[in-house]
Structure 1
């Protein structure tokens, strides 16, 4: 069977046609695509899209159907030993290697992120609420910040340790709106500069350091919060992460971990995502997290609002698309970058829509509080 026939048959089994007229159907511009997909799998498909070899009007719907039908499991590419071997024998998320994701992804132009994320500059899932309200992206991001604060049961004067601080809006919110003192760790130079400006005049200490440096502190904190860091911690470091959090948390304290979660345990990630978006990133599974925190924390609450990430990603994509002409001129971005970024956002939206990915918030204690009331 030819490469074209194999790929066509696989896609058709998921309700996707080559040359069809539905928004999720694939239009092929270069016949070399089929062999490239069979030889290189997701990496080849993503790079071919960046190269303009194929298109789909609705990439999000295409990926939703592919993942819902588990078509990714039907393309068996030759084994690629490098990433898997590094994950097994080395530490792909060591301090030195962890710098790559900051330099390649988070240290991109702040103007790009301002255009995409909006005024809250929240580069994690927004919260549209249990009824899936019709809130705007900015309203849903502010609702996420308020949700985190409610779950942590904050009181004025509390000291909060933030592991992975992003652009600083959560630290600003906790300090300005809840009267907390915040210490925030972040390795991205661009984000740290932005966060320091945002939090100027507030009791917020933004440190350009790896989160693991918090292990060297002697003081403890009333609350610990980690939003969007666990995806970069890596399986070899999950236990050490929870040990660090336990060591820094005061008696009677609470910790909150907000992370993308996968349905199966992995030691590496999709090859296209690893090469172009999040080098060293690994999505943790429920069993990996529970094993890592075993004996250290009591799980007080586990909240999954993964469908909200679908909406968040679509909103980010729409913002990016609307700002593209200005970004192209001001930031010197080219068409290959536009296609890469579009592919990243919309394929991710499809993965959340298919429930292939989740968004979890875990609230943890040391088992020394009488009762925790879940918050939504």
Structure 2
């Protein structure tokens, strides 16, 4: 059987045709795409897309169908041996390496993120249960997070992986709290300080492992994905030593359904260096004897809508963004592949979004999850 015949057989299981007439069908512009995908998996497929060697009008649906049909499990990429060894044996999220994702992803340019994100600059999953637009959905996520933590005026809050300070700004303005945020992105600190000027909010360019002071509550929105399984326990120990005995910790993280699988090589190379999604088991193991799990809330389906909104904003602002020479057509295709492939993954429920609420001693009586 030829490589093309094999690919057509696999894609047919996902209701995808090569050069078909439906918007999710793969339009093949270069025959090397098939061999690249079979040899390198999503790394080869993604790089071929960046090179303009194939297209799909509805890329998000293309990936949703691929993932629902579990096509990737039927391919054993022959040239990813080093990727497997590197992820199993090395601590890719060490203190020295932890700054790489800041430099290569979060410091790309604030103009990109201002164009793509909501007005509050929230770069994590929004909460769409009662919202119909991105700004409202992100505000609802921030409000829900504050309510889950039981914030009260005068509290001192730690935000681990604070981004541009969207949560800290919202919490300070609406709940009268003081906030300290740590990030490994110089651009986020610079812009965040401007956005939060005049508020009791402090930004620190700092690795989380250096934290050693006490806070009334701790929040971490979309940072745990950068910690890595070799450091999960260390991360939980840091949070434990920084949280007051009666405080709450909210962990907001993307997660995968099965532990022990390798990170996506294309995402790791082009989007989030050294990133690795945890499983429920890995988070639970890291928290053992340190925390009581009070609540676990999965709203992963909301990330599909969030990513599609980001993609719409990105495309809408592309004419202005492309005036910056660092955002060329290859970057546009890379970013589109990132946003839409991830949207398809969340829609297929291949990956999840969890909000964990943890306490050190257990909330007396019981913890009641608030709503919006």
| C-alpha displacement of 1:94 | 0.5
Partner of 1:334: 328
Structure 1 position 162 matched with structure 2 position 159: yes
Residue 311 of structure 2: aligned partner: 317
Structure 1, unpaired ranges of 5+: none
Residue 128 in structure 1 maps to residue 128 in structure 2: yes
Quick one: which of 272, 277, 294 aligns to 1:300?
Answer: 294
Which residue matches 2:102?
A: 102
Query: Aligned pair in 2 of structure 1 residues 229, 314: CA closer, same or farther (>3 Å)?
Result: same
> Where does residue 27 of structure 1 map in the other structure?
27
Cα pair 1:313 1:349 within 8 Å, conserved: yes
Deviates more, 1:336-345 or 1:267-276: 267-276
* Counterpart in the other structure of 2:182: 185
- Maintained 8 Å contact 1:87/1:267: no
Q: Which runs of 5+ in 2 are unaligned?
A: none
Aligned to 2:172: 175
1:197 aligns with 2:194: yes
1:309-341 alpha-carbon deviations (Å, 9 max, x no partner): 000000000000011011001354111000000
Counterpart CA distance in 1 for 2:325 and 2:297 is 38
Please give the per-residue CA displacement for 1:54-106, whole angstroms capped at 9, x wherever unaligned.
00000000000000010011111115233332333221001111111111110
CA distance in 1, matches of 2:44, 2:324: 30
Q: Does 1:373 align with 2:357?
A: no
Structure 2 residue 225 is the aligned partner of structure 1 residue 246: no
Classify the secondary structure of the residue corresponding to 1:275.
Answer: helix
Q: For the residues of structure 2 that align with 1:168 and 1:151, how far apart are their CA atoms? A: 18
**Aligned residues of 1:159 and 1:180 also touching (Cα < 8 A):** yes
Query: Which aligned segments of 4 or more residues in structure 1 are displaced greater than 4 angstroms?
Result: none
Deviation at residue 202 of structure 1 after TM alignment? 1.3
Question: Which of 356, 360, 370 is the matching residue for 1:362?
Answer: 356
CA contact (8 A) 1:49 1:339 kept: yes
Normalising by the residue count of structure 1, what TM-score does the alignment of the two structures yield? Answer: 0.96
TM-score by length of 2: 0.97
Q: Aligned residue pairs: how many?
A: 370
Matched, 1:91 2:91: yes
